[in-house]
Structure 1
Amino acid sequence: MGLWGLFGSAFLSATILPGSSEVVLTALITAYPDQAWPGFAVALAGNLLGCLLTFGMGHAGRQGYERFQNVKVDMDGPQVRRLRRWGTPALVLSVLPLVGDALVLAAGWLRMPLWQSLAWIAVGKGLRYLLVVLGIMGVLSFA
């Protein structure tokens, strides 16, 4: 599978499709220990590009939804107010299962600043992949 397979897995895992790029990263590093840091970089890049797609779907989806449904989206609901109050730093939580992809989609929907959003997403995703790599390399002990 290699680095391209890892990239594809990380990309798809960051969209609304299910996936587990951590498992693929673990398998890659277990088979090829010298690929730990390239694997980290490839997984992070693939995941961020997948998040960019998800963000874009949210951004485009709102415009299309309002246009074709002839409705105005309620931007004053409690979840929307909460995400607006926390702002882009809340996107560090995009690393969480199930809600993470929804957060990225909502950030696009809310028209949050793209580069700030991606920066906070990168912090969360980067820390997750870093923990995986360090755990596999034996630097961290989870026992």
Structure 2
Amino acid sequence: MSPDLAEWVLTYGAAGLALAAFVGATLVPVSSEAAFVAAVAAGLAPPTALLWASVGNTAGCLVNYAIGRLARERIGDRLMASRSGRAALGWTERWGVPALLLSWLPVVGDPLTLAAGVGRVPLAWFVPLVAGLRVARYAALLWLV
């Protein structure tokens, strides 16, 4: 995690964690997991950390989805330019909604949320799947820490 985001988490608590998790859900290479662990280690109550990390990360995924949906042609071309993007588009085209079950993974997870927008995955499926996976990922981190 970059020092600036670590400072945000330590200075602003839950709001800083939500921001770090939001940025971590985009294609910016930031570890929301590191921010989550730092927040809990700094004394943020685990349920509060779980809530705000999940909300921030899910919001970031929704932004990815919206970008993919609104800029379908341009984003589709950009995804095809990278290996992880090609994989994400291929999985989304091949498996549709179930491909989102892999959206929690590093490297390919963020492109999958973009690809879901490009592929016009219904929001009624996207939101519960993505949000549930975020909660599960941070809950697993709590269990490991």
Q: Same fold (TM over 0.5)?
A: yes
Q: Deviation of residue 84 (structure 1)? A: 3.4
Counterpart mapping for 1:59-70 below 5 A: 59-62=69-72, 65=74
Q: Deviation of residue 110 (structure 1)? A: 0.8
Q: Deviation of residue 79 (structure 1)? A: 6.7
Q: Deviation of residue 81 (structure 1)? A: 5.9
Partner of residue 125 from structure 1, selected from 112, 134, 137: 134
Q: 1:20 to 1:106 in 2, by over 3 A?
A: same
- Paired residue for 2:83? none
Q: Quick one: distance in 2 between partners of 1:26 and 1:102?
A: 24
Q: Deviation of residue 56 (structure 1)? A: 0.3
| Amino acid in structure 2 at the alignment position of 1:62 | R
Q: 1:25 to 1:110 in 2, by over 3 A?
A: same
Larger Rg: 1 or 2? 1
The Cα RMSD (Å) is 2.1
Partner of residue 31 from structure 1, selected from 42, 60, 64: 42
Q: Deviation of residue 124 (structure 1)? A: 2.0
- Paired residue for 1:109? 118
Deviation string 1:91-141 (CA, Å, 9 cap, x unpaired) is 1211111110111100000111012112111222221101111222xxxxx
Q: Deviation of residue 41 (structure 1)? A: 0.4
| Amino acid in structure 1 at the alignment position of 2:66 | G
- Paired residue for 2:81? none
| Amino acid in structure 1 at the alignment position of 2:55 | A
Q: Deviation of residue 89 (structure 1)? A: 2.2
Q: Using CA pairs below 8 Å that are at least 6 residues apart, which structure has the higher relative contact order?
A: 1
Q: Quick one: distance in 2 between partners of 1:80 and 1:105?
A: 9
| Amino acid in structure 2 at the alignment position of 1:13 | G
Unpaired runs of 5+ residues, structure 1, are 67-76, 137-143
Q: Deviation of residue 51 (structure 1)? A: 0.4
Q: 1:79 to 1:48 in 2, by over 3 A?
A: closer
Deviation string 1:7-29 (CA, Å, 9 cap, x unpaired) is 01000011111111111111111
Unpaired runs of 5+ residues, structure 2, are 1-10, 76-85
Q: Deviation of residue 45 (structure 1)? A: 0.2
**1:91 paired to 2:90:** no
Q: 1:58 to 1:121 in 2, by over 3 A?
A: same
